[in-house]
Amino acid sequence: MTSLVRHLTFDAHDAYRQGAFWAEVLGGSLADDDFPGDPEALVTADGVALLFVTVPDAKSVKNRLHIDLQPQDRTRDEEVERLLALGAKLHEDHRRPNGRGWVTLTDLEGNEFCVECSAAEREALTAAGAN
């Protein structure tokens, strides 16, 4: 028998605040029993569950594992703007002049994540021959 990934777990200074941010990012929700000040917060969204656990340690180095987001109903650039408005910060911009590439942002506690082109953008770029 194999194992299944139950959820991805992140250390956080404020589990609830991080959970609320990611619930908004993913269009998901926090567990019904999660409240401000709780030591854990569970976010569920289509196809993924993220668990945030409060720890005393500060983030000190680049993530070894990160999330790549692909917008479903907007462009990459529209999604980047939405996430910046939610409190994300621009970390690195890897967008190319031909429309390909991605943007690396950080969440409220400095964890890196990327925003890629939407499926529709990828299809259009491929049809246009953009490399």
In this prediction, residue 82 carries a pLDDT of 98
pTM for the model = 0.92
Amino acid at 48: V
Integer CA distances (angstroms), 131 to 113, 121, 124, 125, in order: 23, 13, 12, 8
CA distance 131 to 116: 15
For residue 19, give the H/E element and its range.
Answer: helix 15-26
The answer on 72 and 50 residing in a single domain is no
The answer on 76 and 43 residing in a single domain is no
Domain extent at residue 83: 64-131
Domain final residue pick, 34, 56, 78: 56
The answer on 105 and 79 residing in a single domain is yes
Domain final residue pick, 9, 39, 56: 56
CATH of residue 21's domain is 3.10.180.10
What is the CA angle 123-125-128, rounded to 5? 110
CA distance 104 to 117: 12
The total number of structural domains in the chain stands at 2
pLDDT tens, per residue, the chain with 131 residues:
899 899 999 999 999 999 999 999 999 999 999 999 999 999 999 999 999 999 999 888 888 899 999 999 999 999 999 999 999 999 999 999 999 999 999 999 999 999 999 999 999 989 888 76
